[in-house]
């Protein structure tokens, strides 16, 4: 027990005595009464001081003896370990009273899962008219553990920020979704990012799956990018010093992500350019428009198909895929407050042109010829918060494969039905959803889709029930 514990009591007694109102003039009886109160206050103070000295003496006798070194230098600090990087100047010791966890990273986990009731076999799901991508369809039936994300993020120093996001999949596999550094001290609106990151092309691509407005991605993302496009490379952004939000960016990367392939080359196989423009309309509405261009190269990008006799074959594409993207987003909330009502309109249009060579039956006859295609896809969605914590949404997807130019077919070597996946098609899908956010850390969602993307025009009825729970500190999301 120390003196500090009783000082407030003593101070309160003294202040109480000093604060007592005193009349300007008083009689002999009142003066005598005040003197008596003062003497009592002095006696109480003396008694408290005596008790404090007794407690301090008892506490000191109970403590173990102090080592001579510490007794000689009672204010000495423990030794500071050598820096991990000897070439760097050691940082000054932290000031007393500073937060020892100030540089601890923010750690968060996003837990997701769903229940799927599908009228058609998901194992035979394939979007007609397009070279198949690795991630198409609603996923397996019944209960499923979705993609859970573990994120560790922190400022490295005054110059860099770093983040790692690992995806834990329902099949017990783990993959690195993002692992990047980003500058935080460049001037004039410039930012550099490096490592693995979601490309800045389009609008939805940079948004993590737990923050989508629907359970799954639009068809055009599934078909053109196999889900989300991740770059292993570098990105440069510049925000112009204007009243409007005006941003320009560019990326270079290895091009390993679909539709690119792993290449045994030092050359870069993915290039991207994008620009964004946005502003506010009054205090309730904001908007953003964007345009992007993406160039990716692939070598022997294999996919499974059937020949004209129904026998399974493996075909492969080698060449370049150039994609143009136009996106637009409009958000409305009364006076900027989305608590009770909010509206979000979002849409993207993509056009992809592929040119190169298409090999037929690479494990058998291995015939090859020229290949060119000009394909497009788009989606438009609206999500409305009709009451606190409740939202409803509607989305429509449409794709158009058009007629590709297949050299082996135009030369008469093979019939068109030797490439059934590439037969012209216009698949589409309509989706409705409603979700309930119990808090900003939990969300329950129900979604139903009328899916007509298969070559035989089978109508797949897809009911998905999803839960999303956020654990830990999670950063803000993009506009």
How high is the pLDDT of residue 21?
A: 45
How high is the pLDDT of residue 280?
A: 95
Tell me if 116 sits within 8 A of 479, measured CB to CB.
no
Where do the domains of the chain lie?
116-138+188-472
CB atoms within 10 A of CB 206: 16
DSSP secondary structure string, 135-154? S-SS--SEEEE--EEEEEEE
How high is the pLDDT of residue 357?
A: 96
- For 245, the enclosing helix (H) or strand (E) is strand 245-253
If you compute the radius of gyration of the chain from its CA atoms, what whole number of angstroms results? 34
Distance CA 327, CA 449 (A): 23
How high is the pLDDT of residue 312?
A: 95
Tell me if 249 sits within 8 A of 238, measured CB to CB.
yes
Look at strands 342-360 and 312-332 and give their pairing: antiparallel
DSSP secondary structure string, 364-429? TT-EEEEEEEEEEEEEEEEEEEEETTEEEEEEEEEEE----EEHHHHTTSS-GGG-GGGS----EE
Look at strands 405-406 and 174-183 and give their pairing: unpaired
Q: For 116-138+188-472, which CATH class?
A: mainly beta
> What are the beta bridge partners of residue 160?
183
Distance CA 398, CA 342 (A): 26
Contacts of 221 (CB under 8 A, 6+ apart): 202, 204, 205, 227, 228
One digit per residue, the tens of pLDDT, for the chain of length 479 reads 444 444 444 444 444 444 444 444 455 566 677 777 777 777 777 777 777 777 666 655 544 444 433 333 333 333 433 333 334 344 444 444 445 455 678 999 999 999 999 999 999 999 999 999 988 999 999 999 998 999 999 999 999 999 999 999 988 899 999 999 999 999 999 999 999 999 999 999 999 999 999 999 999 999 999 999 999 999 999 999 999 999 999 999 998 899 998 777 788 889 999 999 999 999 999 999 999 999 999 999 999 999 999 999 999 999 999 999 999 999 999 999 999 999 999 999 999 999 999 999 999 989 999 999 999 999 999 999 999 999 999 999 999 999 999 999 999 999 999 999 999 999 999 999 999 999 989 999 999 999 999 988 789 999 999 999 999 877 666 66
Distance CA 276, CA 476 (A): 19
How high is the pLDDT of residue 57?
A: 67
Q: What is the CA 302 to chain-centroid distance, rounded?
A: 30
Number of H helices and number of E strands within the chain? 5, 18
How high is the pLDDT of residue 52?
A: 77
* DSSP 8-state class, residue 86: T
Look at strands 245-253 and 342-360 and give their pairing: unpaired
How high is the pLDDT of residue 220?
A: 97
Global pTM value: 0.78
Contacts of 89 (CB under 8 A, 6+ apart): none
């Amino acid at each position: 027990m120390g003196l500090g514990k009783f000082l407030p009591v003593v101070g309160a007694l003294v202040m109480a005595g000093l604060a007592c109102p005193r009349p300007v003039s008083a009689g002999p009886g009142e003066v005598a009464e005040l003197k008596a109160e003062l003497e009592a206050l002095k006696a109480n103070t003396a008694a408290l001081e005596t008790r404090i000295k007794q407690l301090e003496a008892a506490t000191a006798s109970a403590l173990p003896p102090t080592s001579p070194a510490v007794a000689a230098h009672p204010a000495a600090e423990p030794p500071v370990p050598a820096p991990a990087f000897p070439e760097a100047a050691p940082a000054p010791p932290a000031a007393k009273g500073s937060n020892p966890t100030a540089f601890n990273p923010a750690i968060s986990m996003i837990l997701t899962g769903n229940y799927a009731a599908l009228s058609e076999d998901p194992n035979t799901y394939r979007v007609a008219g397009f070279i198949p991508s690795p991630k198409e369809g609603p996923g397996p039936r019944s209960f499923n553990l979705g993609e859970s994300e573990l994120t560790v993020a922190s400022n490295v120093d005054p110059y860099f920020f770093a983040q790692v996001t690992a995806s834990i999949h329902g099949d017990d596999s783990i993959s690195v979704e993002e692992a990047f550094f980003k500058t935080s001290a460049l001037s004039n609106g410039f930012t550099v990012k490096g490592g693995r990151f979601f490309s800045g092309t389009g609008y939805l691509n940079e948004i993590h799956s737990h923050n989508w407005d629907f359970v799954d991605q639009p068809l055009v993302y599934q078909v053109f990018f196999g889900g989300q496009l991740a770059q292993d490379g570098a990105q440069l952004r510049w925000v112009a010093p204007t009243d409007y939000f005006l941003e320009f960016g560019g990326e270079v990367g290895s091009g390993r992500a679909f539709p690119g392939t792993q290449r045994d080359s030092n050359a870069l196989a993915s290039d991207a350019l994008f620009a964004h423009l946005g502003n506010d309309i009054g205090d309730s509405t904001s908007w953003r428009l964007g345009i992007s261009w993406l160039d990716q190269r692939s070598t022997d990008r294999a996919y499974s198909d059937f020949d004209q006799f129904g026998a399974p074959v493996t075909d492969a594409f080698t060449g370049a895929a150039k994609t143009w993207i136009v996106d637009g987003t409009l958000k409305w909330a009364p006076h900027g407050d989305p608590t009770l009502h909010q509206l979000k309109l979002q849409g993207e249009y993509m056009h992809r042109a592929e040119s190169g060579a298409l090999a037929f039956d690479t494990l058998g006859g291995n015939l090859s010829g020229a290949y060119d295609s000009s394909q497009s896809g788009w989606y438009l969605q609206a999500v409305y918060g009709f009451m606190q914590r409740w939202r409803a949404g509607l989305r429509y997807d449409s794709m158009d494969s058009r007629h590709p130019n297949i050299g082996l077919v135009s030369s008469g070597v093979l019939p068109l039905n030797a490439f059934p996946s590439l037969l012209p098609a216009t698949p589409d899908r309509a989706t409705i959803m409603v979700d309930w956010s119990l808090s900003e850390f939990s969300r329950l969602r129900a979604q139903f889709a009328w899916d007509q993307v298969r070559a035989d025009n089978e109508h797949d009825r897809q009911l998905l029930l999803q839960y999303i729970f956020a654990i830990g500190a999670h950063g803000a999301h993009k506009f």
